[in-house]
Amino acid sequence: MNPGWRVLDFTEFKGSIVYRRGQLLVKRDGISEHVTVPLTQIAVVLIGNHASVSGAVLTKLSEYDVPLLVCNWSGIPIAGAAPWRDHTRIGARQRAQAELTLPRRKNAWGRIIRAKISGQAATIKSVSHSASEDLQELAKTVKSGDPNNVEAVAARKYWNAVSQYEIGFRRFPGSGVEGLNSCLDYAYTILRGYGIRAVVSAGLVGTLAVFHRGRDNPYALVDDLIEPFRPAVDAYVLTHYSQYGGGMDDPDVKRGLVAAVTGVFDGTGETIPTVLTAFCQEYGLYVEADRKTLEVPVWWGELNARERE
């Protein structure tokens, strides 16, 4: 898989993007000079309403395993293009994914939610020790399939604690509300882009999810598998939120949010995208029954997430 690391954000860009000899050539309207970016450096591309992209660019992005996300006016992805990745066991793996039994799906989902809540406990520990302890206890109660919807109970406690970072904060995903909401939405968009690349590279089908459902969601599986990584992204965003005074129109803010998604996940120095890619491969082995249980990465706090659920 292409080891690119750069996220190219063209959501506010007005101009054209074409391919030239292993690079993207970016031409802004009204400016004669252009910028080039080697394809080997690119991880994810975001496109807005005013950017023009050539067919050659789409072809080359696919060849280099780079997902392209088409975003609406508020920067939320509404469509995407991902490569049809060659995989040595893609046929067998996707058949196994489609035939995955309900008990094994439920078991995987319970472990994913347990890991997510444990990560949330680590993220808010510095602002609310009591809420962190409550979440740690809740994580222990998650059963296979999370039939009691412990995830929702934990979410209320978690976002209530997060509200200490912004007066009057309430979490409204995808609302376009300025402030912490928009920062989190943008960071999750980048995380989802990395998730799409990881799922495709593992030879998995995005629509065949563990838990999430929706006829209009081609990457429901991505939304499942990125859940344990959200608390890690949150931690980086919240730690640096006071620096984001410029709002989402400030390129420095977006660069900071990209850095949040590419931050270190564990004590070995592995980054969030690296661990996410490995996790998607593990899920592929799980659906093929090469793994009895799904080993889910847990965020235990900065540079301390090596333990597994």
Domain at 61, CATH number: 3.100.10.20
The answer to whether position 301 is within a domain reads: no
Question: 73 and 101: one domain?
Answer: no
Q: How many CB atoms lie within 10 A of CB 61?
A: 24
41-81: per-residue pLDDT in tens?
998 999 988 999 999 999 999 888 888 988 887 677 778 88
Question: 144 and 76: one domain?
Answer: no
Q: Binding site annotation covers 50? A: no
The answer to whether position 292 is within a domain reads: no
Q: Starting at the edge strand that comes first in sequence, how are the strands of the sheet with 42-47 ordered?
A: 6-10, 42-47, 68-71, 77-81
Residue 198 near residue 229, CB atoms below 8 Å: no
Question: 124 and 147: one domain?
Answer: yes
- Domain of residue 51 covers 6-81
Residue 307 is predicted with a pLDDT of 44
259-276: per-residue pLDDT in tens?
889 999 987 789 999 999
The answer to whether position 1 is within a domain reads: no
113-160: per-residue pLDDT in tens?
999 999 999 999 988 999 999 999 999 999 999 999 999 999 999 999
Listed residue (101, 306, 80, 82) closest to 197, CA to CA: 82
Q: Binding site annotation covers 307? A: no
Neighbour-count burial for 152-176, b at 16+ CB within 10 Å, e otherwise: eebbebbeebbeebeeebebeeeee
Q: What are the phi and psi torsion angles at 158 (to 5°)?
A: -65, -50
Q: Which residues contact 296 (CB under 8 A, 6 or more apart)?
A: 111, 112, 114, 115, 228, 279, 308, 309
Question: 124 and 13: one domain?
Answer: no
Residue scoring higher pLDDT (254 or 174): 254
Q: Binding site annotation covers 302? A: no
Domain count, the chain: 2
